[in-house]
Chains A and B, each alone.
Chain A
């Protein structure tokens, strides 16, 4: 087994073993699930790999993947790795400027792009990316009349590769055999919560170790169905999705489009899937708001049985036994409500649901565990790989679980989380100095503040630099409050502020337009725009009640004292959020300085002019009064 030390080697081994008898990838296209066996999969990877080589691809060259999750992304990544190259994932919603930065920073010479939208971005920046050799697209819609010689369709590329293969038999096998385990398989960009993203390099060895750890913890079977949905630019999709499917041989399923995911999961009965915290939150929000909309009878039954499953769930999580009455009630609840609910969400077959990336409210984990959906938290980052994870039957909502095999965690004297992990990155691409700075005596300094409980579970509180102290030195964590506030269906984003010059913490709320709008309709409150809705007295009262709920759970000194509703939504296109939808705190605090001042100045209202950048690049401004609300 030792010679199977790169992903392409394992891939070839599995392709030979499974051949035409087992499905590798499945994609819903034109309304039908279309399957690709391991034999077909190997053929695609082989041809694309040979295509790259025929175009002058050298070992160590980089291939960028720019598109939504589709089988083609998997082929392209493996094709690059088989030719001893590196795959670079780029978020498909990046603008041309960001794409240019990623391409140039990582010296990308080939791009696999999804469709017209992505191709347009590349053509726009082509003049400034001279190292770019070819752009291969797989969705030809709208591209029929594009004549740029740099472009070609994936079918054409496959054909070129096939012919090259005929002329050079066994070349593919030779290339794969040349791969070494310490080669860089993937470059993953950090999310860039602080400054520009950095390019973390991951080796084959690291990916394989991590993928095997997960396969071992959660006992992946080659018959399991995995749903590929989080972008390949994320470390989790790289480890669990791509490396995981190659190591464990499970079936990877690709949804038809982002809007049809729920329906698609239900059709395939996914066993393993990964959602970002925001996606779990939005499912929870959707259930809550649909319940508000449903008939009186359904709502009553749901509300009647929710405490029952919560109680049973909590006893389960605490590993306590359930009494007979609870068991009976729990069974009834499942039969009446929650079996149907899980089915509706498409999650009735789910065995391993993961979340990671940023903090998730313990309430979210409690909720899903209670309704019978096994959601588990993972802790990790682009640099340190995946470090800890919840084990089945040992899930604590407030923790991130224990280290996975091959990883270790300890705390520095200041409470910073230090990790050591076989699946860790090799360094930042073209930035040796920054990589060395991240290590202390062989341990990687995560920059996260947290602690380890008596059972060895890691609890992550916040980023070290985001920890704030208030006047008088009382420490508090904005993120701790934010994740709990976001459990409310009416709060989509929230920024908690406070510093040493201030006596208390306050927050800026980005209301959830759908749910608040629905609530407003139900209560006969007329509104025009987001800005208008956000400043309605009734809505402020609604948000106030939601914040009071969270306030009652935290110690006196870190309670929020005042808040305001922002008149516009936070937007990744304006760099207010990262592409993974984390708050860019420093930027936000500077941008909304006037709002923050207003929170502390005792004003009841503030006149603001907000600059907005539209998607087509035009700029405009919104002027309106924003009300400040005090919390008792």
Chain B
């Protein structure tokens, strides 16, 4: 029983000058699925995310969201469709507070115009209160009460990552793209972050594409894995199968390990 494909990239290729970053990659994420995207450094994982959000324009191939061809859309149109992402090198407004950063995430859902908003009057006021409630729910979910009014620039790295996730959630996305949400965190911060991702999934059943290096976490969390190596998809399947896949072991551990067949991921 095949559930509906939410996002699909079909045969995309991406070149940087003479370097081919992605070649003919086809993969998809279904509705209500957590997809893990793994591969050695420079395999092109982030490139896939960037193509899916039209941050980079693929030279060949197409991207479909809910069956609609979205190749060539502008990034803000992608956001409107309900695709939100977090960044590997956190991209927040460091001069704004946590609350303000999250409110920015609500921007695409705001209807009132500049004048009405500046006057904070009538519908604009009611709308802002409604958005604030959504944001407060996220603050509660991600346990950010104590840092609500702190400037993002003053926060430690682990908490900024949390704010980054919060802002993506504020868009109430249908699909969430997480680019290395656990990178550079200590064990405790990682545990918290994983718990938040699981809570988000359990609560909202948002589809997630997770790019991550921590194999333990990836294997536990995802339903299906796509493995990239040098811009080529080398495997696609459930974690148990990927763990045994020879091509994958070779890409990660070198060929001799695969020949001896002693190691698994």
| A residues whose Cβ falls under 8 Å from a Cβ of B | 29-32, 141-142, 144-145, 256-257, 259-260
Contacts and interface: CB of A to CB of B under 8 A. Distances in A.
B145 A260 contact: yes
Contacts of A32: 136
Given A142-B195, A142-B199, A30 B146 contact: no
A30 B134 CA distance: 9
B146 A259 contact: yes
Given A30-B133, A141-B140, A142-B195, 10 more contacts: A29-B140, A30-B139, A32-B136, A141-B141, A144-B202, A144-B203, A256-B145, A257-B146, A259-B146, A260-B145
Given A257-B146, A260-B145, A260-B146, A31 B139 contact: yes
The 10 closest A-B pairs by CB, nearest first: A259-B146, A30-B136, A256-B145, A31-B136, A257-B145, A260-B146, A144-B202, A260-B145, A142-B199, A30-B140
B148 interface: yes
Contacts of B195: 142
Contacts of B132: 31
27 contacts: A29-B140, A30-B133, A30-B136, A30-B139, A30-B140, A31-B132, A31-B136, A31-B139, A31-B145, A31-B148, A32-B136, A141-B140, A141-B141, A141-B199, A142-B195, A142-B198, A142-B199, A142-B202, A144-B202, A144-B203, A145-B202, A257-B143, A257-B146, A259-B145, A259-B146, A260-B145, A260-B146
B32 to A, nearest CB: 14
Counting chain B CB atoms within 10 Å of each CB, the highest count among A30, A256, A259 belongs to A30
Counting chain A CB atoms within 10 Å of each CB, the highest count among B141, B146, B199, B203 belongs to B146
Interface string B189-206: 000000100110011000
Counting chain B CB atoms within 10 Å of each CB, the highest count among A31, A142, A257, A259 belongs to A31
Nearest to A29: B140
Contacts of B69: none
Interface string B131-162: 01100110111010110100000000000000
Interface of A is mostly: loop
Nearest to A144: B202
Contacts of A145: 202
Contacts of A30: 133, 136-137, 139-140
A373 B180 CA distance: 49
B138 to A, nearest CB: 10
Nearest to B132: A31
Contacts of B198: 142
A142 B194 CA distance: 12
A476 to B, nearest CB: 42
Contacts of A31: 132, 136, 139, 145, 148
Contacts of B143: 257
Nearest to B99: A31
A435 B195 CA distance: 46
Contacts of A257: 143, 145-146
Nearest to B147: A259
Interface of B: 132-133, 136-137, 139-141, 143, 145-146, 148, 195, 198-199, 202-203
Nearest to B195: A142
Nearest to A615: B188
A259 B143 CA distance: 11
A256 B140 CA distance: 10
B189 to A, nearest CB: 15
B135 to A, nearest CB: 9
Contacts of B136: 30-32
A160 to B, nearest CB: 24
A32 B137 CA distance: 12
Contacts of B133: 30
A144 B204 CA distance: 11
B142 to A, nearest CB: 10
A256 B147 CA distance: 12
Contacts of A142: 195, 198-199, 202
B175 to A, nearest CB: 21
Nearest to A140: B203
B56 to A, nearest CB: 36
B186 to A, nearest CB: 14
B169 to A, nearest CB: 14
A51 B130 CA distance: 34
A142 B198 CA distance: 8
A142 B203 CA distance: 8
Contacts of A141: 140-141, 199
Contacts of B140: 29-30, 141
B66 to A, nearest CB: 26
Nearest to B146: A259
A31 B203 CA distance: 21
A434 B108 CA distance: 67
Contacts of A259: 145-146
B133 to A, nearest CB: 7
A141 B140 CA distance: 9
A31 B145 CA distance: 7
B136 to A, nearest CB: 4
Contacts of A260: 145-146
A145 B205 CA distance: 12
B157 to A, nearest CB: 18
Nearest to B188: A615
A258 to B, nearest CB: 9
Contacts of B141: 141
A144 B140 CA distance: 16
Nearest to B191: A616
Nearest to A32: B136
A616 B148 CA distance: 30
A57 B146 CA distance: 39
A74 B198 CA distance: 31
A31 B140 CA distance: 9
B35 to A, nearest CB: 20
Contacts of B139: 30-31
Contacts of B203: 144
A142 B143 CA distance: 13
A256 B195 CA distance: 21
A30 B145 CA distance: 8
A360 B195 CA distance: 39
A30 B132 CA distance: 9
B103 to A, nearest CB: 12
A253 B198 CA distance: 32
A144 B145 CA distance: 22
A81 B67 CA distance: 60
A256 B198 CA distance: 23
A489 B141 CA distance: 35
A256 B146 CA distance: 9
Nearest to A255: B145
A522 to B, nearest CB: 19
Nearest to B137: A30
A145 B202 CA distance: 8
A145 B146 CA distance: 28
Nearest to A261: B146
A30 B198 CA distance: 21
Contacts of B146: 257, 259-260
A399 to B, nearest CB: 37
A29 B195 CA distance: 21
A256 B133 CA distance: 16
A142 B202 CA distance: 8
A256 B145 CA distance: 7
A31 B139 CA distance: 9
A32 B129 CA distance: 11
A273 B203 CA distance: 37
B198 to A, nearest CB: 8
A30 B137 CA distance: 6
B125 to A, nearest CB: 15
A29 B143 CA distance: 12
B67 to A, nearest CB: 30
A459 B133 CA distance: 52
B77 to A, nearest CB: 31
